[in-house]
Amino acid sequence: MTLVATDSVRALPTVEQHHRDRRSYPSGVAFLDGQYFPMSEAKISVLDWGFLHSDATYDTVHVWDGRFFRLNLHLDRFFRGMQSLRMKLPYSRGEIEGIISNCVALSGHKCAYVEMICTRGASPTFSRDPREAENRFIAFAVPFGSVANKEQLERGLHIAVSDTVRIPPKSIDPSIKNYHWLDLVKGLFDAYDRGAETALIVDTNDNIAEGPGFNVFTVKDGRLRTPAYGVLPGITRQTVIDLCDELALPVSVGDVTRRELKAADEVFITSTAGGIMPVTKIDDAAVGDSKVGAVTRQLMDLYWKKHADPTWSTLVTYA
């Protein structure tokens, strides 16, 4: 597609200017109130319910080598979230796709982390009635970032399972992406205190749920399994299921106990921020032979190959 930034565009600093001014970190472009801004100038009102009450939904898609990956699935989930939360925006789906594509094109980043957000906004009269709030759309594109760094991707992540319980589905629908992260943050601190690099937390039945921004898979005797209850159905999680179908690998969705997690031959996590990432240590115990497993590597390789496939990706045209 050919994308042209037709809305008002602020003068954007060059990459060199960003490097000289730490306040501009991270370099990137944001869209709000009908304009594009450098990330350092993107601001939200302190009266916005997205800030005051975490009353917002969002979605994140990444761009790799100048192509959005599985953009339609991310847009589908974003619009489902807004509908479920009774939010409305003055932009159509096509217009939002154009806006986030413009953010990427204007930023110049060929590998980017792109977020689209709808907040409840604020009431002009400071009413507490959410029906009177004016919903607000924000988008931005910044350099691509991963849950796991290069070293961790090569040797596998070290994870601790926290006793922190994920917010139950009866309270918050986990299929709606949201910013209710205090349980996940508590899990992270539990993991750091135990010398781990990131965390998994549990559901209300003490089964494995998910981690801060990622889902988890186990591999046992060539069969894959991922938790079902109380977790966000991640797009990368769905991508792994799709890849398993293509590779004729058996995969199921259901409860994963702590014992099953630790007895797995292989474990990996999945996120838009990093893709498929191996885990080789859980609670100070090695996973399998403590090396990245063959199934994990096979899925990782195919996952990144799909980024160049036009049926899985969407080209961004840079000015």
Q: What is the rounded distance in angstroms from the CA atom of residue 269 to the CA atom of residue 226?
A: 10
pLDDT of residue 26: 77
Residues 132 and 161 in one domain: no
Residue 260 has pLDDT above 80, yes or no: yes
Mean pLDDT of 293-298: 98
Count of domains for the chain: 2
Band (pLDDT 50/70/90 cuts) for residue 25 is low
Whether 316 is covered by a domain: the verdict is no
What pLDDT, on a 0 to 100 scale, did the predictor assign at position 319? 79
Task: Decide if pLDDT at 79 tops 80.
Answer: yes
Question: Is there a single domain that holds both residue 139 and residue 170?
Answer: no
Average pLDDT score, the chain = 93
In a domain, 168, yes or no: yes
> What's the pTM?
0.91
Which residue range forms the structural domain that includes residue 30? 8-143
Is residue 58 located within the same domain as residue 182? no
153 contacts 145 by C-beta, under 8 angstroms:
no
CATH classification at residue 112: 3.30.470.10
